[in-house]
Amino acid sequence: MNKKLYKLMNWPAIEGIIYSEEDNPHEILGAHVAGSSVLIQTFQPGAKSIRIQPEKGDKSYKMELADEEGFFAALVSGKTIFEYEYLIEYEDGSLKKVKDAYNFKPQITKEDTDKFNAGIHYNIYEKLGAHPMKLDGVDGVYFAVWAPNAVRVSTVGDFNGWDGRVHQMRRLWDSGIFEIFVPGAKIGDCYKFELKVKGGLTYLKADPYAFGQQLRPDTASVVREINGFDWEDQKWMKNRKKAQAANAPMSVYELHLGSFAKPEDGRIFYNYRELAPKIIDYVKKMNYTHIELMPVMEHPLDGSWGYQVIGYYAPTARYGTADDFMFFMNELHKAGIGVILDWVPAHFPRDSYGLANFDGTCLYEHMDPRKGCHPHWGTLIYNYGRPEVKNYLIANALYWIEQYHADGIRMDAVASMLYLDYGKNDGEWVANMYGGNENLEAVEFLKHLNSIVKKRDDGTLMIAEESTAWPKVTSDVEEDGLGFDIKWNMGFMNDYLSYIQNDPYFRSGSHNNLTFSMIYAYSEKFMLVFSHDEVVHGKATMLGKMPGERKDQFANLRLTFGYLMTHPGKKLLFMGQDIGEYDEWNEERAVEWNLLEYDEHKKLNQLMADLNKLYVTTPAMYQRDDSWEGFEWINCITPQACMLSYLRKAEKPEETLVVVANFANAKQDFTVGVPFEGKYKEILNTDAEVYGGSDMVNSEVKHAIDKEWDGKPYAIEMESAPLSMSIFSYTPYTKEEKAEIERAKAEAIRKAKEEEEKRAAEEAARITALEAEAAKEAAQRAIEEANAKAKAANEAAEKLKKIKAGKTTAVQTNTKKASTTKTSTAKTSTKSKTVKKKV
């Protein structure tokens, strides 16, 4: 070897490269000015000879073999570094031209790494990962990865025979980031990162920031370009904030792309491009406003449904490429359909090629298993206190929002993030610094994420699957809330299903389960959900949960859909339930679309379509969803009747709806209090024949009765079919109708008055006649009494006469006797006086 060349070479560093333990190979490899010459060094394992071929001129330079492992060097006169490529001859005689990967400057700046290490580089996915680009006129791919504790990191892939010695990466100062530009690497190439850690262990890892992954069971990352798609959804994006406002309707169709439909040509999955029109047709037909996709991020196990993610930045290869998924999103938006993506920042699987023990240390997870793993799920928990981990997740959410135009992010398992003891027994968790069970780092992460989404992408929805009573989930971060827009209402789902699964005969005893949701309905901004979690693992489908015989099951489910759509809150229903599947969902089969060939399933499906249409076109059903001003009980305290009645109210009184639900399996007649005078028309009845019911409907318009009922000034009387719901619209009387009603009332009053006067006159005449008859009878009685008295008087007179006649004779006789007696008495008295004188 040339002595000058020998002296210019850094042999300890060269040894580090040969043994793959050098973390700054760019300092040695490539072209470097050395005095008056240019020193060019390369490591090409397996090469027999190498010549340097300058881009300009015909002259080439043979390189000297400095180490038999394949390290070559050459000294070229001149102080100017020139463009060149290597012409490599291998032992088998094959030739290959290769651009030098070590002549390119880092594309990551110190500012980038400082922001990343602080956890605030929200576009870090534009720096880390694999990025096709042209540098200095050379096409290739720029690779970068964060692995601070690795001894050495290499990029391996289709472009270098998966040899970790060929493209050893450069550590950027103290950032923990390794990078390299690989000329000749291209879109579609598979690659991984080879890490050598302390102790000498060497292994492969998939790229955490890869935009593409191989289809399982293969595990390599794939170079993808995401910047070339021609979006055509500008109209949707412009109007999205208004369309997704709190006072806008939102009815979500949750689906799993792999089992929405299955190809009939032997393939396992449809492509994103094939799925788009199928989903659009159905969603538009059913009048849903949004779809929610179960996780589309790459995951190794079909049976995890996407909830154990490996490739957070890669749309799953099951259905195509990143470009294919952009097409899917674009088509949905052009059709006026919003797309919410399910996202899993709570945990990740232990697969050896994923994030677990990434650089030989617990980089993304906690070292302490009491903090770093879910014992029940067997997965690992993110270390939310590490800025780079937090940055990884925040940037990922923004990536789906900004690069794929996602309209919302539904965050899975938020409760498991908030509580340190979630799913753990005593001794399996560590308290926070204050001795509590709150995960303070996760709380800060959620607030940070939600606040930055609001700042950068206002109008995008952040939705929490949070199943506890953690306060202020949907309150603003400035008010010490978590900052979500919507929270899944798991309480409503659990309470309602507990109620409806009872036989109607016993429902009165659990009436509180039916109404309790309104106690807390406005404590958060809720979405009512009957999701995939409720139709798996032996829980039965929505139809299968319903009690009774088949017709009763369908009636109960129709009633359930009615209650879902008229209860305050946004709506979500999992695929297959709106056609009445009996079989639990299984990711290996498609939705049982053939059920729509049967009348009862087809009619149930029609009901859901009509309920959605009514919902999105009727302001009372959504306009005041998060305020008591939008809802009012009419009657919720009649458990023995298993009935409810309530109002849904909009800004205009004439848009008010009256809802009456009969949860009893018996026909009932109800008098229902209503707030306004006017007409009430039944606009939907779940028992209608068109929906598979008995057609016991209220076909005639109900005019409000002027009487107080249920605390309301008016009432309507209606008939309620068993297990049914009736929805009435309200229409005020027009001026003409009101005038006619007033005229009719006046006429009725006049007629009533005339009738009353006539009745009074007739009553008076009757009384007069009765009085005359009574007078006549009294006169007759008087005459009879007078005659009787006269007769009695005559008889008395006659008797008196006779008596008098008898008395005259007696008097004469007595007179004579009296005279004789008197004479005798006088003589006796004279004699008595004579005696007294003598004495």
Active site residues: 412, 465
- The span from the first CA to the last CA of the chain, in angstroms, equals 218
Block residue for tokens 């009685």: 781
- CA contacts within 13 A on the Cβ side of 725: 26
Find, among 131, 84, 85, the residue nearest to 107 by Cα: 131
Maximum Cα interatomic distance, the chain, rounded to a whole number of Å: 222
Q: Which two tokens stand for residue 114?
A: 């400082």
Dihedrals phi, psi of 296, to nearest 5 degrees: -100, 0
In the DSSP assignment, the letter for residue 709 is B
Name every residue whose Cβ is closer than 8 Å to that of residue 474 and which is 6 or more positions away in sequence.
464, 481, 482, 484, 485, 486, 487, 524, 525
Q: Which two tokens stand for residue 290?
A: 């949004």
Give the side-chain half-sphere CA count within 13 A for 494: 6
CA distances from 566 to 189, 571, 648, 657 (A): 52, 10, 8, 9
Angle at the Cα of 297 (from 295 to 301), degrees rounded to 5? Answer: 80
Nearest to 73 by CA among 14, 146, 126: 14
| Cα dihedral: 73, 169, 179, 320 (round 10) | 110
Name the strand (E) or helix (H) holding 760: helix 735-838
- Give the dihedral sign, CA 577/580/586/588: negative
Q: Strands, DSSP E only, in 147-270? A: 152-157, 170-171, 177-183, 190-196, 202-205, 221-222, 251-255
Q: Does an H or E element contain 645, and which?
A: strand 643-648
Q: CA-CA distances (angstroms) from residue 550 to 535, 584, 606?
A: 18, 17, 18
Distance separating alpha carbons of residues 115 and 136, to the nearest angstrom:
27
Relative to beta strand 290-293, strand 338-343 is: parallel
Q: Considering only CA atoms, which of 589, 584, 710 is closest in space to residue 643?
A: 710
What is the phi-psi region of residue 723: left when phi exceeds 0, alpha when psi lies from -120 to 50, beta otherwise? Answer: left
Q: Is the peptide bond before 375 cis (omega within 30 degrees of 0)?
A: no
Residues 6+ apart with CB under 8 A from 395: 121, 122, 123, 124, 125
Of the candidates 560, 550, 609, 558, the one whose C-alpha atom is nearest the C-alpha of residue 582 is 550
Q: Distance (Å, rounded) from C-alpha 233 to C-alpha 734? A: 44
- CA distances to 1, 380, 700 from 697, in Å: 101, 55, 9
Do 490 and 527 touch, CB atoms closer than 8 A? no
* Torsion (CA) 41, 46, 52, 56 in degrees, nearest 10: -120
Look-up of token digits 């720096």:
127
